[in-house]
Amino acid sequence: MFSTLDNSLSRRDWLKLSSLGALSLPVSGWLNVLAARAAGPSQSKARHKSCILLFMEGGPSHIDTFDPKPGNSSSEIKPISTAVPGVQISEHFPKLATKMKDMALLRGMSTGEGSHGRARYYMHTGYRGGVGGVIHPSMGAVASNFLGRETDELPNFVSIGDRSYGAGYAGPLHAPVEVARAAAGIENLHVPDTMPAFDKRTRLLDEMEKSFVDRMQIPSLEAHRATYQRASALMHSPKSKAFDISNEPDALREAYGRNAFGEGCLLARRLVEQGVSFVEVQLGKWDTHTNNAKRVQALSEQVDPAMSTLLTDLQQRGMLDSTLVIWMGEFGRTPKVGKQGGRDHYPKAWTSVMAGGGLKLGQAVGRTDKEGGTVEEGKITAVDFMATVCKALGIDYTKELHTPAGRPMRVVDKGETPVAELF
């Protein structure tokens, strides 16, 4: 259920947790101890905004989605006009075209990493893999760290889909709760017998582990304890119903789409509405080395109703200005189509989208050439993008965090310039 990578709790913290009876939830107070230790005395936890990241795993073709090129003979997808004069997008996004005033297209993305793994890491963290010899926190973990509510039973970071990027050196308190399928909610959330019996077993487990933790002080064991304690808190909470999308009206579920991505977007709205700081929803299969046009069409036909309904739903609930919605992949695709009708990896020029979040919307920022192969205006690097996300969420991206070894690391790597047109 929970993804863990590292933590930084001291032996004294764990002794305090044990003395509090950490597993007699939810009134034990262990969550306050964990959160206070993770945040540090100078960390501000004021609730500002939330973020929903729609991650298109595999790298969508910008030319066939949000930066159509009528002069590019390799594209079989026709452009259509949007609610913003002069801005066109793919014909497979008719509903999103009507929402263009609530979106900003960042057409100047140029990020330099063409390998899937390295590019995903770069776009999620703002750091190239291996820099500093550490695993960097993803933007979800950063949002959890700066915006999360430390006493809430709900997690501050939820990842919906097959893959998640975790907390890195920020520790397990900011790691995502992983939901494989939105329609199924969180697996094993409900106990098999009764809650008192479950509490009795977990207290027994805590007693059995206590001496070993005190003696060995193994970070992975401490992370494991933090993980199941968080899980137990959620199991006790009535807020866990936020993970049950079956409570939504059938008409709204149809509008989002009866598929994994549409249901993920609906769950994301439910979670943000209940105070979750960051939700990532993944849609894979964008690695279109073959049969690009038909595959992009099929994927776009999932994105269009889900994303447009998400924006409308947030707007109708008065949440769009306080919720930043991001649509992005790890890179774009080549301007030219290969022999098998596919497009290869292309980080040199591509498009991401931002919506809501109180930004200046209804515009396309940056411009590529007529083939879509070179950024001619408004180049945006990965660190520029990450700094823009942080600024939109009210996070100080120049702030230094510390690794478990005590090394200071900026939230976003140096050399950043947030996209000024959005603010």
**Cβ atoms 155, 234 nearer than 8 A:** yes
Whole-angstrom distance, CA of residue 159 vs CA of residue 262: 14
Q: Which of 7, 38, 37, 34 lies closest to 22 in space, CA to CA?
A: 34
116-159 pLDDT, tens per residue?
Answer: 999 999 999 999 998 888 999 999 999 999 999 877 889 999 99
Taken as a whole, the chain contains a residue count of 423
Helix (H, G, I), strand (E, B) or coil at 38: helix
33-79 pLDDT, tens per residue?
Answer: 333 343 333 344 444 699 999 999 999 999 999 999 998 888 899 99
| Tokens, residue 138 | 């993803």
Which residues in the chain come in under a pLDDT of 70?
A: 1-48, 188-228
Where would I find the beta strands (DSSP E) of 219-295? 278-283
| CATH 3.40.720.10 residue window(s) in the chain | 46-164+251-422
Helix (H, G, I), strand (E, B) or coil at 90: strand
| Tokens, residue 245 | 């999308």
414 CB neighbour count, 10 Å cutoff: 7
Whole-angstrom distance, CA of residue 241 vs CA of residue 31: 20
Question: Does the domain made of 46-164+251-422 have the CATH classification 3.30.70.120?
Answer: no
pLDDT of residue 162: 83
DSSP 280-306: EEEE-----SSSHHHHHHHHHHHHHHH
Distances (CA, A) of 251 to 181, 309, 313: 20, 11, 12
pLDDT of residue 32: 40
Burial class (CB in 10 A: 0-12, 13-18, 19+), 5: buried
Percent of the chain at pLDDT > 70 equals: 78
Distances (CA, A) of 147 to 46, 144, 257: 6, 5, 30
**Cβ atoms 102, 363 nearer than 8 A:** no
Strand 350-356 and strand 103-109: pairing? antiparallel
DSSP H helix total and E strand total for the chain: 11, 16
The per-residue b/e assignment along 299-332, b for 16 or more CB within 10 angstroms, e otherwise, is bbebbbbbbbbbbbbbbeeebbebbbbbbbbbbb
pLDDT of residue 106: 99
The pTM assigned to this predicted structure is 0.85
